[in-house]
């Protein structure tokens, strides 16, 4: 069983908005055994949408569309669907009542555009939107199911969970799709590929392996489409000896989730002292639910003045070695741990770029450190001149370093 996802909006095609809806929808569909055949983004153009719907209907039996359901003139999805299905728009009374209740709760008066949002194709099944004013819709044409969802991510996600997924499970015979992802760090992708080449060459034909590098870590995803879940488990057992200390997790976790799990398990805490990352390490650590149990706080010491006055970094060492040095990140990590009274202190200081480098310390030169009560491990990173990439990779490297300290791998 396959589906095609179509996202609508000029904002997607000019790079103003990143399409996160498709990723979420694909993930949720995979969990119930529906695979994604293709993802397409189209403009707010009647003909473009009609063409995409027609082409998708030749490839799959289920098409899910997001976007274009708002109250303004550029939101044309409903009118295009009525043209595509030969239907007409009618006011859906339950949706209208829901919109009136929501507007009243917000202290806002109804207008003609709000009423228009309650219009739906007469032959559609309406999917209730408990978070917004745009209803979802379910159509059928020539044996193909078309579903229209709002483009606002939190509205779409709620509708997927509350309305669409239960309907899909009833309507379609879903297959079995199994994915397992292992998190690997501290090894280049090419070296990893050579290390596990023998194992990879002997994988069963119904198991696919994908390398997903990014931010200093590599995710190895094993996928099976069918009754192969137990085979994946067998292959993971065979793979683990090849990965040795580079394996952080075999449980579909992000690196921040690995840190969270280990700190929670040990009942330990952490704080960060950040310069070039500007609080991004703290943001990752607190992105995990329950982070208040292990994360105490962060000091973003962007200037030397803050490093000296708040983190108590030695002024002479700053003058002698510079802020981007092993000596300074060591003091930052040690001192933030003491200031916050935590088990671990993480620090980062570097030249994220694209300007600010010198011949001795070019852009991409970054130091990170992790301190405990008894030791401090520091590491020099050498990246490129892309600021965003440097910050992302530094955050991952810092979390990887605390994993190595927690796992006693240093």
Are the beta carbons of 6 and 52 closer than 8 angstroms? yes
Q: Say if domain 2-171 classifies as CATH 3.40.980.10.
A: yes
Q: Which CATH class is domain 255-406?
A: alpha beta
Collapsing DSSP to helix, strand or coil, 177 comes out as strand
CA triplet 245, 280, 262: central angle to 5 degrees? 35
- Decide which of 3.60.21.70, 3.30.70.2860, 3.30.70.140, 3.40.640.10 is the CATH code for 177-249: 3.30.70.2860
Element (DSSP H or E) covering residue 48: helix 46-57
Residue-wise pLDDT for 102-160, tens only, equals: 899 989 888 888 888 899 999 999 999 999 989 999 999 999 999 999 999 999 999 99
Percentage of the chain exceeding pLDDT 90: 85
For the stretch 12-32, what's the b/e string if a residue is b when 16 or more beta carbons lie within 10 angstroms of its beta carbon?
A: bbeeebebebbeebbebbbeb
Phi and psi dihedrals of 57, rounded to 5? -65, -20
- State the pLDDT confidence band at 1, using cuts at 50, 70 and 90: confident
d(CA 399, CA 272): 11
For the stretch 81-104, pLDDT in tens is 999 999 999 999 999 999 999 899
Q: What is the pLDDT of residues 167-198, one digit of tens each?
A: 999 999 888 888 999 999 888 999 999 999 99
| Predicted TM-score (pTM) of this structure | 0.77
Domain spans in the chain, listed from the N-terminal domain onward: 2-171, 177-249, 255-406
Report percent pLDDT > 70 for the chain: 99
Query: What pLDDT digit, counting tens, does each position of 298-337 carry?
Result: 999 999 999 999 999 999 999 999 999 999 999 999 999 9
Instruction: Map tokens 């929670």 to a residue.
Output: 264
Measured in degrees and rounded to the nearest 5, phi and psi for residue 230 equal -65, -30
Specify the higher pLDDT residue, 106 or 229.
Answer: 106
Which pLDDT value is given to residue 75?
86
Residue with tokens 């239907």: 87
Task: With CA atoms as reference, report the closest residue to 66 among 122, 12, 131.
Answer: 12
Q: What is the mean pLDDT of the chain?
A: 94
pLDDT tier at 410, thresholds 50, 70, 90? low
């Amino acid at each position: 069983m396959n589906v095609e996802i179509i996202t609508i909006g000029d904002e997607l095609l000019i790079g103003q908005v990143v399409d996160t809806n498709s990723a979420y929808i694909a993930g949720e569909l995979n969990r119930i055994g529906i695979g994604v055949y293709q993802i397409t983004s189209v403009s707010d153009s009647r003909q473009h949408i009609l063409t995409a719907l027609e082409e998708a209907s030749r490839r799959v039996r289920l098409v899910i569309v997001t976007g274009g359901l708002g109250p303004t003139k550029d939101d044309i999805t409903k009118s295009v669907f009525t043209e595509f299905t030969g239907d007409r728009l009618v006011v859906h009374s339950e949706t209208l009542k829901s919109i009136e209740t929501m507007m009243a709760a917000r202290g806002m008066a109804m207008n003609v555009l709000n009423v228009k949002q309650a219009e739906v194709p007469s032959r559609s099944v309406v999917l209730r939107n408990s978070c917004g004013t745009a209803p979802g819709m379910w159509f059928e044409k020539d044996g193909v199911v078309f579903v229209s969802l709002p483009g606002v991510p939190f509205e779409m996600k709620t509708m997927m969970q509350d309305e669409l997924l239960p309907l899909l499970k009833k309507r379609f015979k879903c297959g079995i799709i199994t994915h397992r992802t292992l998190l690997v760090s501290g090894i280049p992708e090419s070296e990893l590929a050579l290390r596990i080449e023998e194992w990879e060459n002997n994988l069963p034909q119904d198991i696919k392996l994908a390398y997903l590098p990014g931010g200093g870590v590599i995710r190895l995803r094993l996928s099976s489409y069918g009754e192969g879940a137990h085979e994946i488990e067998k292959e993971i057992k065979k793979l683990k000896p090849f990965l040795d200390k580079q394996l952080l997790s075999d449980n579909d976790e992000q690196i921040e989730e690995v840190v969270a799990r280990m700190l929670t398990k040990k009942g330990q805490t952490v704080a960060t002292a950040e310069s070039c990352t500007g609080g991004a390490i703290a943001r990752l650590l607190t992105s995990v639910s329950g982070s208040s149990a292990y994360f105490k706080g962060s000091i973003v010491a962007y200037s030397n003045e803050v490093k000296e006055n708040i983190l108590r970094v030695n002024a002479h060492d700053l003058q002698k070695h510079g802020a981007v040095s092993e000596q300074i990140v060591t003091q930052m990590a040690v001192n933030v741990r003491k200031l916050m009274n935590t088990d671990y202190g993480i620090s980062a200081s570097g030249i994220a770029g694209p300007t600010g480098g010198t011949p001795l310390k070019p852009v991409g030169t970054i130091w990170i450190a992790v301190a405990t009560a008894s030791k401090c491990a520091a590491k020099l990173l050498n990246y490129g001149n892309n600021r965003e990439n440097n910050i992302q990779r530094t955050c991952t490297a810092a979390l990887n370093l605390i994993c190595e300290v927690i796992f006693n791998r240093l």
